[in-house]
Amino acid sequence: MDKGRVERRFAVYVLVLVVVFLTLGGRLAYLQVIRGEYFSELSYQNRIRILTLTAPRGPIYDRYGQLIAATRPAFAVSVMELGSREDMDRTIAGLAELLGVTEDSIREKIRKHQRPFEPVRIATDISPEVHTRIVESRDSLPGVIIETLPVRDYVHGSMAAHLFGYVSEISAAELAKPVWEGYRAGDVIGKTGLERRYDFELRGQDGGQQVEVDVGGHLVDVLGEIPPVVGQGLVLTIDAELQRVAEEFFDVWMERVRTGKGLAQAFPDANRGAVVVMKVDTGEILAMFSRPAFDPNLFATGIDAATYRALIGDPHKPFLNRALEGLYPPGSTFKMVTAAAALEEGKTTPGFTIYDSGVYPYGNVVFRCWRSSGHGRVDLRAALKYSCNTYFYEMGRRLAPERRNDPPQTLIEWAERFGLGLPTGIDLALPGEQAEARGVIAGRDNPLGWQGGMTLQAAIGQGHVFSPIQMAVYAAALANGGTRLVPQVVKQILSPEGKVLWEMQPQEAGLVGLSPDTLREIREGMLASAVELSGPAGPGTSAWLFHNFPIQVAGKTGTAQAPGGDGHAWYVAFAPYDKPEIAVVVLVERGGSGSTAAAPVAKAIFEQYFGLNAGSRPRPPSELPSGGD
């Protein structure tokens, strides 16, 4: 072979090698010198991770300092994303088996995770057995860490569930709202009730740890830490012991109403309702609950899909806060509004009487009293005592406008003066949100097609629908002399150190405008209804309960017609009569008579509040009424 040709080939080979080495060297120089800092940072980030230290939510106390919502430590399983797909697949498969979940559910949580270099939380509040198994399998689960998290703990389970609400992970729809500005995906927020309304105060400030991990994603060292700051605390107006007694007695009594044991009649659908207890001078809510309820602890660590579907699908709607959102015809408990309107507008006098034969003709229609034989001759006081429909039909006729087909504006105005059909303003809604239903006043919200007879029905409480919280404001106004108060459930906000940052002050929503004479007549009628055993037409509608009660009670029963079944039972009351302290409203859906279904619950509440039951559960008297409104 030609020597020159060999030399030329050799030179080409050398040139190629030189180019290759220059390229490799240049690339190494680029990676190590020019981009060295960048790749060093990537390596550091792969070794150094940030762990969020979740702040405990602030504690919640009752008015006497009893802890009713706290936080407790719980183990949580998280995964650090690994560079190796094989390692990640092995970890996901192992965790799915240990936790009893699907691999797809774990992958979905990883996919949704939006915080690079922070662990992805897979499960919260794992059992001690699962914790032990994960620790023992640590070497085969690269990237898995176990954290200790603060978890919301509702000390009394389902007690006051609708008042507290519950906490859960923030949704994408909520993140898009301005009110949640500053929150991030994965944050736990209050979804309803107090937890939602006071989330900004309760949530605290998260801390963090800078930790070093090995190639398997296991924690090696803590390099730095910023401790979390616990949220502010709430002191409620609620009396936890009164709340507990009221809820327990309601549940026991409803079982008796449903079965009819010892009663004249059974009401098998009486398993829903609400109770509100309110201080008449300040608007403080001492107890409030709705039935059926749910356990908010189910949501604190992530409710499982099957349980959630069962709650959502329950036809009794356990998430509905009937105290605020439930709307019901008030029935005879509305008659104090009609009485106030008739007296104040000069349509009647306290001494006016009407003879009740059990029927009241109006045009070509005959309206009937609830007592078919009637109550005989009654004045205003007796009409309230016996809940005489006929007397209030007459008042409705007198309050009706000249044109029979016009809505009764006077009655509408007086209903609004008492706060009925209007939001109360209770402190359970964020700005721009609504926690309570508005309600309907007959004629105001459905004026089309109005006929004269509808005014008579409206006068005895039919055609309207109001919430129990509105009825509590109404009862308190009758008790305190005519001031409509804003109900409130938070008494104080405390700093993490226990310093009072804010304190509740009573808020007036308006004055009813009742004269002292009108107020006295109405209150005397309510007193007679609750305590008088004798009279031409018999005892007052709840006198069987309160005639010998050591505290004088003024009360009004109500049975409201409801389509498709038994009527709703109401009791609206306050005590003591001469110097009122609290108003009590009890509603029992499909409970029939307010005298038998609702009034005994009010009695148990009065016994507890006034310290009459000496710590024992209240027992209703053995003598039960024969019926009545």
pLDDT tens digits, residue range 33-60?
555 554 455 444 456 666 678 899 999 9
Distances, alpha carbon 615 to alpha carbons 252, 254, 460, in Å = 17, 21, 39
- Say what the pLDDT of residue 617 is: 45
Mean pLDDT for 447-455 is 92
pLDDT exceeds cutoff 80 at 616: no
- Say what the pLDDT of residue 5 is: 64
> Percent of the chain having pLDDT more than 70?
86
- Give the three-state DSSP class for 614: coil
258 shares its domain with 190: no
- Say what the pLDDT of residue 223 is: 73
> Percent of the chain having pLDDT more than 90?
65
Q: Would the pTM count as exceeding 0.85?
A: yes
Mean pLDDT for 375-391 is 97
- Say what the pLDDT of residue 618 is: 44
Query: In terms of pLDDT, which residue wins out, 564 or 81?
Result: 564
Count of domains observed in the chain? 2
- Say what the pLDDT of residue 268 is: 96
CATH code of the domain containing 268: 3.40.710.10
Residue 301 resides in a domain: no
- Those residues with Cβ within 8 angstroms of residue 31's Cβ, 6 or more apart along the chain or in another chain: 39
- Say what the pLDDT of residue 112 is: 74
Helix 335-344, helix 389-399: angle, nearest 10 = 50
- Give the three-state DSSP class for 558: strand
- Say what the pLDDT of residue 556 is: 98
385 shares its domain with 461: yes
247 shares its domain with 144: no
Is residue 628 classed exposed, middle or buried when 0-12, 13-18 and 19+ CB atoms within 10 A define those classes? buried
179 shares its domain with 263: no
- Say what the pLDDT of residue 579 is: 97
Query: Which residues are part of the catalytic machinery?
Result: 332
Instruction: Identify the domain boundary among 211, 236, 261.
Output: 236
- Say what the pLDDT of residue 280 is: 98
261 shares its domain with 378: yes
Residue 300 resides in a domain: no
Instruction: Identify the domain boundary among 236, 257, 277.
Output: 236
- Those residues with Cβ within 8 angstroms of residue 620's Cβ, 6 or more apart along the chain or in another chain: 253, 545, 600, 603, 604
pLDDT exceeds cutoff 80 at 624: no
Residue 112 resides in a domain: yes
275 shares its domain with 402: yes
Q: Could you give the CA distance from residue 101 to residue 136 in angstroms, rounded to a whole number?
A: 19
pLDDT exceeds cutoff 60 at 258: yes
Residue 320 resides in a domain: no
Alpha-carbon Rg for the chain in angstroms: 34
379 shares its domain with 350: yes
- Say what the pLDDT of residue 392 is: 98
539 shares its domain with 449: yes
CA 536 to chain centre: 45
With beta carbons less than 8 A apart as the criterion, state whether 161 and 238 touch: no
Question: For residue 570, which of 581, 556, 582 has the smallest C-alpha distance?
Answer: 556
Provide the Cα torsion 245, 251, 252, 253; round to 10°. Answer: 100
Q: Could you give the CA distance from residue 276 to residue 574 in angstroms, rounded to a whole number?
A: 12
pLDDT in tens, 264-319: 999 999 999 999 999 999 999 999 999 999 999 999 988 888 999 999 999 999 99
- Give the three-state DSSP class for 79: strand
The range of the structural domain enclosing residue 65 comes to: 49-236
Residue identified by tokens 């954290």 is 147
Residue 53 resides in a domain: yes
- Say what the pLDDT of residue 35 is: 52
Q: Could you give the CA distance from residue 490 to residue 502 in angstroms, rounded to a whole number?
A: 10
Residue 14 resides in a domain: no
pLDDT exceeds cutoff 50 at 620: no
CA 390 to chain centre: 39
Q: Could you give the CA distance from residue 257 to residue 227 in angstroms, rounded to a whole number?
A: 54
pLDDT in tens, 4-23: 665 666 665 656 565 555 56
214 shares its domain with 284: no
pLDDT exceeds cutoff 80 at 139: no
Instruction: Identify the domain boundary among 217, 236, 255.
Output: 236
pLDDT confidence tier of residue 469, bands split at 50, 70 and 90: very high
- Give the three-state DSSP class for 445: coil
φ, ψ (nearest 5 deg) of residue 538 = 100, -165
Query: For residue 508, what are its two tokens?
Result: 């007036």
Distances, alpha carbon 440 to alpha carbons 421, 422, 429, in Å = 5, 8, 21
Residue 304 resides in a domain: no
- Say what the pLDDT of residue 30 is: 47
- Say what the pLDDT of residue 126 is: 84
136 shares its domain with 201: yes
531 shares its domain with 385: yes
pLDDT in tens, 567-587: 999 999 999 999 999 999 999
pLDDT confidence tier of residue 187, bands split at 50, 70 and 90: confident
With beta carbons less than 8 A apart as the criterion, state whether 259 and 278 touch: no
CATH code of the domain containing 147: 3.90.1310.10
pLDDT in tens, 95-135: 888 888 888 888 888 777 766 667 788 888 888 888 888 88
Residue 512 resides in a domain: yes
203 shares its domain with 142: yes
Q: Could you give the CA distance from residue 418 to residue 411 in angstroms, rounded to a whole number?
A: 11
